[in-house]
Amino acid sequence: MTAAYWLPVIFAGLMALAMLIYVILDGYDLGVGVLLPFTDEDEKDMMIASIGPFWDANETWLVLGVGLLLTAFPMAHGVILGALYLPVALMLLGLILRGVAFDFRVKAHADHKPWWNAAFATGSLLASLSQGVMLGRYLTGFEPGLAAWGFSLLTGVGLTAAYALLGAGWLVMKTEGRLQARAIGWARHSVAGTALAVIAVSVVTPLVSQRIAEKWFVLPDFLLLLPLQLISLALFVTLALALPRLARRQAAGNDNFCWLPFACTVGIVVLAFWGLAYSVFPQLVIDQLDIWQAASSPEALKVILAGAAVVLPTILGYTVFAYRVFWGKAHELTYQ
């Protein structure tokens, strides 16, 4: 158990943690952006208000994850981002468009504001689809051909549905009245797409690599992993059953358990990410590079770890503080 062995393991864990937090936190605000066109102008302001204090900080986790990939695993960084050049460029275009639209819609004249709202929604949709395509391309080992690209596009749509479910759950938790009722309806429509994405990834991932298939379908591993699938199914069933009841309670003025859709969706994302990480580990590029082959030298990793030991708790502490300060229902959007 030398430093050359355990340091890449530590960095793989830190990178996975950063990406998981990113998917959850930026996932819900991307989802809110995707849902923005489906309501009226006043409710759009409330939707933006619900994510306003958080969305910039949420993207920090993406920067951290990609930064760890670049510094700790430079060989894998070159292979992955080289193969994903087009969807990465589209994702960045979407994120830039979101950022510009978010700021400009504040100062825009009334007749221009719908255009900036459309730009924010378009940027959110483009970023979500691009991230899903990136996931699909990664899982297929960057294989060429219509089948691989078709699966990647399906994954793009599925991840967008999952983000929409996260966003709808966030709005159910953070808003009231008519917008909350709309959000419950959006969540009900997003559950099927999210389930399709989870099923598609679960089916295709073992088919990509014999090594991955053996990790999932040999005994006793299969029995040990079975609870992962059963809990995911239970969360989907809970969502499907709870959303109609929440709609009835909300209509009667009862806001109890408004947090449940978001909590269930976060649980589904965590379990799906856990299954994906188990499938891939210790590979960084499936059947091409593992974490030890792609890692920087132990001396470099020690220096990077010292920096990460400062940066990671700082970002985590700020995130917890921000969510604590802005806890509770979102209020009407105002600017001084």
Q: Give tens-digit pLDDT for 158-167.
A: 899 999 999 9
Q: Name the pTM for this structure.
A: 0.92
Mean pLDDT of 89-113: 86
How does residue 41 score in pLDDT terms, banded at 50, 70 and 90?
confident
pLDDT digit string, tens, across residues 2-14? 888 899 999 999 9
Query: Of all residues in the chain, what percent carry a pLDDT higher than 70?
Result: 98
| Omega within 30 of 0 (cis) for the link into 8 | no
Q: Which residue type occupies 169?
A: G
Mean pLDDT of 216-234: 83
Mean pLDDT of 208-237: 82
Q: Count CB neighbours of 214 within 10 A.
A: 11
φ, ψ of residue 285 to 5 degrees: the values are -120, 115
pLDDT digit string, tens, across residues 103-143? 888 777 777 888 888 999 999 999 999 999 999 899 888 88
Tell me the pLDDT of the chain averaged across its residues. Answer: 88
Task: Assess whether pLDDT exceeds 70 at residue 257.
Answer: yes
Mean pLDDT of 87-114: 86
pLDDT score for 333: 59
Task: Assess whether pLDDT exceeds 60 at residue 297.
Answer: yes
Mean pLDDT of 315-331: 86
Alpha carbons 227 and 274: distance in angstroms, whole number: 12
Rounded (10°) CA dihedral 273, 274, 278, 279: -30
Mean pLDDT of 315-335: 81
pLDDT score for 54: 83
> Residue 27's closest CA among 230, 229, 194, 220?
194
Rounded (10°) CA dihedral 57, 59, 61, 62: -170
Cα of 42 vs its chain's centroid, Å: 27
Q: How many residues in the chain?
A: 336
pLDDT score for 129: 95
pLDDT score for 102: 84
Query: Of all residues in the chain, what percent carry a pLDDT higher than 90?
Result: 43
pLDDT score for 335: 52
pLDDT score for 283: 87
> Residue 265's closest CA among 175, 172, 140?
172
pLDDT score for 213: 78
Task: Assess whether pLDDT exceeds 70 at residue 336.
Answer: no
Q: Which two tokens stand for residue 227?
A: 């609870």
pLDDT score for 334: 59
Mean pLDDT of 16-35: 93
Q: Which two tokens stand for residue 132?
A: 């899903």
pLDDT score for 197: 81
State the SS3 of the chain: CCHHHHHHHHHHHHHHHHHHHHHHHHHHHHHHHHHHHHCCHHHHHHHHHHHCCCHHHHCHHHHHHHHHHHHHCHHHHHHHHHHCHHHHHHHHHHHHHHHHHHHHHHHCCCCCHHHHHHHHHHHHHHHHHHHHHHHHHHHCCCCCCHHHHHHHHHHHHHHHHHHHHHHHHHHHHHCCHHHHHHHHHHHHHHHHHHHHHHHHHHHHHHHHCHHHHHHHHCCCHHHHHHHHHHHHHHHHHHHHHHHHHHHHHHHCCCCCCCCHHHHHHHHHHHHHHHHHHHHHCCEEECCCEEHHHHCCCHHHHHHHHHHHHHHHHHHHHHHHHHHHHCCCCCCCCCCC
pLDDT score for 106: 76
Alpha carbons 297 and 309: distance in angstroms, whole number: 18
Task: Assess whether pLDDT exceeds 60 at residue 64.
Answer: yes
